[in-house]
Amino acid sequence: MTPSPQLATPALEELERRFRAGDKSALARLITLIENQDPRVGQCMERLYPSARRGHVVGITGPPGAGKSTLINQLIQTMRGGDQRVAVLAIDPSSPFSGGALLGDRVRMTDHYRDEGVFIRSLATRGAPGGLSLATREVVRLLQSFNFDRILIETAGVGQTELAIMDVAETTVVVMVPESGDAIQVMKAGLLEIADIFVVNKADREGAARLRTELLAEAALGPARPWQPPVLLTQANHGLGLEPLLEEIDRHRDFLRHATSCDFNERCAEEFSAAVRATSTRHVTQLLAGARARGLLDQVRVGRLNPYAAARLLLQAVANEESPNDWHA
Amino acid sequence: MTPSPQLATPALEELERRFRAGDKSALARLITLIENQDPRVGQCMERLYPSARRGHVVGITGPPGAGKSTLINQLIQTMRGGDQRVAVLAIDPSSPFSGGALLGDRVRMTDHYRDEGVFIRSLATRGAPGGLSLATREVVRLLQSFNFDRILIETAGVGQTELAIMDVAETTVVVMVPESGDAIQVMKAGLLEIADIFVVNKADREGAARLRTELLAEAALGPARPWQPPVLLTQANHGLGLEPLLEEIDRHRDFLRHATSCDFNERCAEEFSAAVRATSTRHVTQLLAGARARGLLDQVRVGRLNPYAAARLLLQAVANEESPNDWHA
* Cβ–Cβ under 8 Å, residues A102 and A69: no
Q: Does residue B177 share a domain with residue B309?
A: no
* Cβ–Cβ under 8 Å, residues B119 and B88: yes
Angle subtended at Cα A258 by Cα A252 and Cα A263, rounded to the nearest 5 degrees: 95
Domain span holding position A285: 265-326
The pLDDT value given to residue B233: 97
Complex prediction ipTM: 0.86
Rounded-to-integer distance, Cα A309 and Cα B15, Å: 20
Assess if residue B12 is contained within a domain: no
The pLDDT value given to residue B326: 55
Domain holding A140: CATH number?
Answer: 3.40.50.300
Average pLDDT over residues A258-283: 88
Assess if residue B2 is contained within a domain: no
Task: Give residue A96's pLDDT band: very low, low, confident or very high (50, 70, 90).
Answer: low
CA nearest A66 in B: which residue? Answer: B185
B68: which chain A residues are within 8 Å (Cβ-Cβ)? Answer: none
Task: Give the list of residues 6+ apart from residue A202 with CB closer than 8 angstroms, or none.
Answer: A66, A67, A177, A178, A208, A235, A236, A237
More confident residue, A155 or A158: A155
The pLDDT value given to residue B109: 54
B161: which chain A residues are within 8 Å (Cβ-Cβ)? Answer: 129, 159-161, 164
Contact (CB<8Å) A312/B273: no
Inform me whether the pLDDT recorded for A155 exceeds 60. yes
Instruction: Point out the domain boundary residue: A209, A230, A259.
Output: A259
- Which of B49, B128, B277 is nearest residue A284 as measured by Cβ atoms? B277
Contact (CB<8Å) B42/A187: no
Assess if residue A282 is contained within a domain: yes
Which is it for the CA torsion B215, B218, B224, B225, positive or negative?
A: negative
The pLDDT value given to residue A329: 46
Instruction: Point out the domain boundary residue: B223, B240, B260.
Output: B260
Inform me whether the pLDDT recorded for B277 exceeds 70. yes
Which is it for the CA torsion A208, A213, A216, A218, positive or negative?
A: negative
Q: Does residue A299 share a domain with residue A242?
A: no
Rounded-to-integer distance, Cα B90 and Cα B87, Å: 10
Inform me whether the pLDDT recorded for A38 exceeds 70. yes
Q: Does A167 touch chain B (CB under 8 A)?
A: no
Restricting to A residues 223-282, those with a Cβ less than 8 Å away from any Cβ of B are: 264-265, 268-281
B188: which chain A residues are within 8 Å (Cβ-Cβ)? Answer: 64, 94, 102, 156
Average pLDDT of every residue of chain A: 85
Q: Does residue A281 share a domain with residue A243?
A: no
Of B281, B296, B293, nearest to B327 by C-alpha is B281
The pLDDT value given to residue A153: 95
Task: Give residue A157's pLDDT band: very low, low, confident or very high (50, 70, 90).
Answer: low
Assess if residue B144 is contained within a domain: yes
Q: Does residue B119 share a domain with residue B176?
A: yes
Ranges A94-98, B50-54, B158-162, B204-208: which has the least confidence: A94-98
Q: Does residue A137 share a domain with residue A102?
A: yes
Where is mean pLDDT largest: A60-69, A134-143, A205-214, B116-125? Answer: A134-143
Of B160, B304, B295, B175, nearest to B235 by C-alpha is B175
Assess if residue A72 is contained within a domain: yes
pLDDT in tens, B194-246: 899 999 999 999 889 988 998 888 877 777 778 889 999 999 999 999 999 99
Where is mean pLDDT largest: A7-21, A104-118, B97-111, B228-242? Answer: B228-242
Rounded-to-integer distance, Cα A327 and Cα B1, Å: 22
Q: How many domains does chain A have?
A: 2
Q: Does residue A132 share a domain with residue A73?
A: yes
Q: Does residue B236 share a domain with residue B165?
A: yes
At residue B151, φ and ψ (nearest 5 deg) are: -125, 115
Task: Give residue B157's pLDDT band: very low, low, confident or very high (50, 70, 90).
Answer: low
The pLDDT value given to residue B99: 53
End-to-end CA distance of chain A: 22
More confident residue, A249 or A176: A249
Q: Does residue B207 share a domain with residue B280?
A: no
Inform me whether the pLDDT recorded for A328 exceeds 80. no
Instruction: Point out the domain boundary residue: B214, B233, B260.
Output: B260
Task: Give residue A107's pLDDT band: very low, low, confident or very high (50, 70, 90).
Answer: very low
Angle subtended at Cα A237 by Cα A233 and Cα A239, rounded to the nearest 5 degrees: 65
Inform me whether the pLDDT recorded for B103 exceeds 50. no
Percent of chain B scoring above 70 in pLDDT: 83
pLDDT in tens, B69-95: 899 999 999 999 988 999 999 986 655
Rounded-to-integer distance, Cα B101 and Cα B106, Å: 6
Q: Does residue A224 share a domain with residue A275?
A: no
Min Cα distance A247 → chain B (Å) is 31
